């Protein structure tokens, strides 16, 4: 069963008289790999900026399915509160978070994140060390566990190294 976690319908983004996006539609299914490719100036970054709330789209629909809750990102970013929003505390809290934090909390929980194109590596570190740093969000390590060199810490370090070497092998094959 492949459930749609991100649905975009007729997305539009206008900057004054310039139509950067016009009727862009796409669907991303759970556990899939999805790519948006095209030449410079095609609107790829603009799509991601709209999806993550960095830009407020001019029109269309962006729907996230986070833990069974469908959320229209454009509507939440663009509309003021209505009396019916206060009937459901869950809906009110969701809308309030979007107003306060730009919607990124649900977008990130859905597994969609915005990074910038200017990716910097640590030039004084090896490729392997840079790949270990890239895993900082996934590796469960605490300072105390590192000082005590616990079994869990050693396992996390070993797993991170295995992932880094796997990535190096995959890149080498391409």
pTM, entire model:
0.51
pLDDT for the residue 90: 57
Write out pLDDT tens, residues 71-117.
666 655 555 445 554 455 555 555 555 555 454 544 554 456 666 66
Look at residue 24 and tell me if it is in a domain: yes
21 and 91 co-located in one domain:
yes
pLDDT for the residue 86: 46
* Whole-angstrom distance, CA of residue 3 vs CA of residue 28: 9
Domains held by the chain: number: 2
Write out pLDDT tens, residues 35-48.
889 999 999 989 98
pLDDT for the residue 115: 60
Asked whether 139 and 160 are in contact (CB, 8 A), the reply is: yes
Q: How confident is the model at residue 34 (pLDDT cuts 50, 70, 90)?
A: confident
pLDDT for the residue 144: 87
Look at residue 117 and tell me if it is in a domain: no
Tokens representing 9?
């319908």
On average, the pLDDT of the chain sits at 76
* Whole-angstrom distance, CA of residue 52 vs CA of residue 159: 30
**Where in the sequence is the domain holding 12, given as residue range(s)?**
4-109
CATH of the domain at 23: 3.40.50.300
103 and 143 co-located in one domain:
no
**Which has more pLDDT, 128 or 82?**
128
pLDDT at 7 over 60: yes
160 and 100 co-located in one domain:
no
99 and 41 co-located in one domain:
yes
DSSP 106-162: HHHHTT-----S-----TTS-HHHHHHHTTTTT----HHHHHHT-HHHHHHHHHHHH
Which DSSP state fits 53?
A: T
* Whole-angstrom distance, CA of residue 23 vs CA of residue 19: 10
């Amino acid at each position: 069963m492949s459930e749609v976690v991100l649905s975009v319908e007729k997305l539009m983004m206008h900057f004054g008289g310039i139509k950067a996006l016009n009727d862009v539609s796409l669907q991303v299914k759970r556990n899939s790999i999805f790519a948006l490719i095209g030449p410079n100036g095609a609107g790829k970054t603009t799509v991601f900026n709209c999806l993550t709330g960095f830009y407020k789209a001019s029109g269309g629909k962006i729907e996230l399915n986070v833990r069974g809750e469908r959320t229209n990102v454009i509507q939440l970013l663009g509309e003021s509160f209505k009396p019916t929003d206060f009937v459901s505390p869950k809906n009110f809290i969701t809308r309030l978070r979007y107003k306060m934090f730009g919607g990124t909390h649900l977008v990130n929980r859905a597994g969609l994140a915005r990074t910038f194109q200017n990716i910097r590596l640590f030039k004084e570190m090896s490729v392997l060390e840079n790949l270990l740093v890239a895993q900082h969000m996934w590796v469960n390590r605490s300072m105390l566990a590192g000082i005590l060199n616990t079994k869990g810490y050693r396992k996390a370090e070993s797993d991170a190294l295995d992932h880094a070497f796997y990535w190096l092998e995959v890149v080498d094959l391409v």
